[in-house]
Amino acid sequence: MYKRITISVLTVMLAIACAPYLSANMPSYPLRKSEILALVAGGIMPENIAYDIQSRGVAFVRGDSFDTLL
């Protein structure tokens, strides 16, 4: 009984300890149109949006319709 509880507690502690490492090293996917529009609509600073685009890239081809929405 105590062995099972000890293993469970150690497993939970290990998961909690590794969670920040796993979330920090997740691959970042390119930005979608909707994400860029949401950043602009949310009032995010243009420098931050430019950094996100530069670091993550975009998953679409920019066109006149997107420029109009923007």
Residue 13 has φ and ψ, to the nearest 5°, of -65, -40
DSSP 12-49: HHHHHHHHHHHHHTPPPPPBPHHHHHHHHHTT--HHHH
Q: Range of 56's domain? A: 2-69
**How many domains, the chain?**
1
Tens digit of pLDDT for each residue in 31-55? 999 999 999 999 999 999 999 899 8
**Residue-level pLDDT at 33:** 92
Using CA atoms, how far residue 61 sits from 48, 49, 57, 67, in Å, is: 21, 17, 11, 11
**pTM for this model (two decimals):** 0.59
As given in the structure block, the two tokens for residue 37 are 């529009």
For residue 21, pLDDT beyond 90: no
